[in-house]
Amino acid sequence: MNSCYNIFMIDIQKQIHHWRNGATEDWQVALELADLGRTRHSLFFAHLALEKTLKARVCQVTNGLAPRIHALLRLAELAKLDLSQDQLVFLARFDRYQLEGRYPDMLPPAPDIETTQEELKQAVEMLKWLNTQF
């Protein structure tokens, strides 16, 4: 095999590990921010945790790099997941938190702590399910 070719080979397991570790770290940050009352940022990091978990699954399924996108439903599609209707609705709805974090001119009022806690509860259930798909 040509040694130049080896430079471009992708270690898929390393990619999966990278995304899953990042998701775990971002989830911890989401919880810490919620404890501080930083609800908007908490939900942004929860979205990142879901996004990175989905990207790990995309790497696993496609044997390639994850795309540079943030849309949870599109990532779930690329990951070839068999989602329930409730899961589809949740992912579609949860995408608003990445938009709020990236585009501050589109900010609605920050969610209250009760809403944030409920969203985090649903997000952790989705993360638990996603982690069973590896």
Gap between the Cα atoms of 47 and 96, Å rounded: 9
Could you read off the pLDDT of 50-64 as tens digits, one per residue? 999 999 999 999 999
In angstroms, the CA 6 to CA 130 distance is: 32
Indicate if the alpha-carbon torsion angle 14, 69, 77, 34 is positive or negative: positive
Residue type (1 letter), 37: G
Position 20 scores a pLDDT of 98
**Weakly modelled stretches of the chain, pLDDT under 50:** 1-4
Model pLDDT, residue 109: 85
DSSP letter at 134? -
Domains of the chain: 11-131 (1.20.120.330)
The confidence score (pLDDT) of residue 3 equals: 46
pTM of the model: 0.91
For 99, phi then psi, to 5°, come to -65, -45
CB burial class (10 A; 0-12, 13-18, 19+) of residue 96?
middle
